[in-house]
């Protein structure tokens, strides 16, 4: 089955929607992926998609360009797409119009929860999008159960909505875990805690630093923050000036946190809002327990059997980290359960197969 996945852009600053992982697993599920970006600037992301086996087309249009629908129609015909799957607001509109014109099914994934409209115009826009989705989209996919209640409130019904979390690629085994930890200046008896999230407002690094400062001084915990963003200079400055943090916290802005998570003993993910954060799923794949907040879709990823979900409070986070840091047997048991949960619910191959079955249910 040839499916065209439509996104607004492949620019690094925008969401990738898990498409590289899906592209890598597509062939095994009987899918052929054509990824269409309405604007350009794909660069490294486009290369990664091609390397994973997807065909990539960049239309090179401006946002909300009126030529988008005709351009997409030409692309869908040229690649003989049997179905369109959209992933962003502009893509939703353009994909629904083109799919309806060609009389092929249109799927759309909700990747976030829209905040309450600021005014009358925003409310009208959201109402229009909801009406168009109900009329022209064959199936709407929520990546989290949390989105179902939100969508029901907005649309008045959850008819046609299915829940299907995105998957992530199973990471390659880390060749030399001890060497990776030594490069991070983590001692043999230290507990390595990793936080993998963009360094911007709402992602919780400030809360994590508050929790680290509250940990007992004799607890052998080393914390690595990976990622980048506008708050990184402020976070680095804070670590440099507070002795409770200096020497215990370091920064590694790596583009792919998978190897770092495999070298870790524990993940902390305390974002203040996240529908279905990929970083938390990657922690499951690495087979390590997690300490997370109870916000967004995090409780759908991390359970009591795979880690600890706590209030977004520095003392609560510190208490959970201290509990797991002091108990290697508990960490091992939770880590095994985390890995099993990943393989059952979030592995990319299973995700691709479930998508294929969902597609097939509308094209028979």
Residue 317 in this model has a pLDDT that exceeds 70:
yes
Q: How far is it, in rounded angstroms, from Cα 197 to Cα 323?
A: 23
Q: Residues 234, 173: contact at Cβ < 8 Å? A: no
Mean pLDDT over the full length of the chain: 91
User: What's the confidence (pLDDT) of residue 16?
Assistant: 67
| Tokens found for residue 224 | 């690595």
User: What's the confidence (pLDDT) of residue 81?
Assistant: 98
**Residue in 104, 147, 44 with CA at minimum distance from that of residue 16:** 44
Q: How far is it, in rounded angstroms, from Cα 2 to Cα 32?
A: 5
| 8-22, 119-133, 228-242: the lowest-pLDDT one | 119-133
Helix (H, G, I), strand (E, B) or coil at 169: coil
**Residue in 11, 7, 3, 9 with CA at minimum distance from that of residue 27:** 3
**Residue in 321, 270, 320 with CA at minimum distance from that of residue 298:** 270
Res. 209 pLDDT band, cuts 50 70 90: very high
Q: How far is it, in rounded angstroms, from Cα 3 to Cα 85?
A: 7
What is the pTM for the complete model shown? 0.91
Q: List helix spans (H) across 255-327.
A: 258-263, 278-286, 298-301, 314-325
Q: How far is it, in rounded angstroms, from Cα 362 to Cα 125?
A: 28
Average pLDDT over residues 169-177: 91
| Tokens found for residue 28 | 């095994």
Q: How far is it, in rounded angstroms, from Cα 163 to Cα 345?
A: 12
């Amino acid at each position: 089955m040839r499916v065209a996945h439509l996104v607004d852009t492949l620019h690094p600053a925008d969401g990738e929607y898990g498409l590289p992982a899906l592209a890598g697993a597509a062939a095994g599920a009987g899918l052929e992926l054509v990824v269409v970006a309405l604007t350009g600037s794909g660069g490294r992301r486009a290369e990664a998609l091609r390397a994973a086996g997807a065909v990539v087309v960049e239309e090179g249009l401006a946002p909300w360009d009126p030529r988008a629908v005709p351009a997409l129609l030409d692309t869908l015909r040229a690649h003989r797409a049997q179905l369109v799957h959209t992933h962003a607001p502009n893509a939703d509109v353009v994909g629904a119009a083109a799919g309806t014109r060609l009389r092929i099914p249109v799927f759309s994934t909700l990747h976030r929860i829209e905040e309450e409209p600021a005014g009358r115009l925003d409310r009208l826009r959201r109402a229009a999008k909801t009406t168009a989705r109900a009329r022209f989209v064959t199936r709407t996919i929520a990546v989290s159960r949390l989105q179902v209640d939100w969508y029901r409130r907005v649309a008045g019904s959850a008819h046609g909505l299915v829940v299907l979390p995105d998957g992530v690629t199973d990471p390659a085994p880390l060749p030399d875990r001890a060497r990776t930890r030594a490069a991070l200046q983590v001692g043999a008896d230290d507990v390595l805690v990793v936080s993998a999230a963009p360094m911007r407002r709402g992602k919780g690094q400030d809360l994590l630093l508050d929790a680290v400062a509250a940990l007992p001084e004799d607890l052998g915990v080393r914390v690595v923050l990976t990622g980048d963003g506008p708050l990184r200079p402020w976070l680095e400055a804070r670590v440099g000036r507070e002795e409770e943090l200096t020497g215990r916290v370091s920064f590694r802005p790596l583009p792919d946190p998978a190897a770092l998570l495999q070298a870790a003993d524990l993940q902390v993910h305390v974002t203040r809002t996240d529908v279905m954060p990929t970083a938390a799923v990657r922690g499951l794949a690495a087979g390590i327990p997690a300490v997370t907040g109870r916000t967004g879709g995090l409780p759908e990823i991390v359970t009591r059997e795979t880690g600890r979900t706590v209030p977004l409070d520095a003392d609560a986070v510190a208490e959970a980290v201290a509990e797991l840091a002091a108990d290697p047997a508990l960490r091992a048991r939770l880590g095994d359960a985390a890995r099993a949960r990943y393989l059952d619910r979030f592995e990319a191959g299973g995700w691709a197969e479930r998508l294929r079955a969902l597609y097939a249910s509308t094209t028979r």
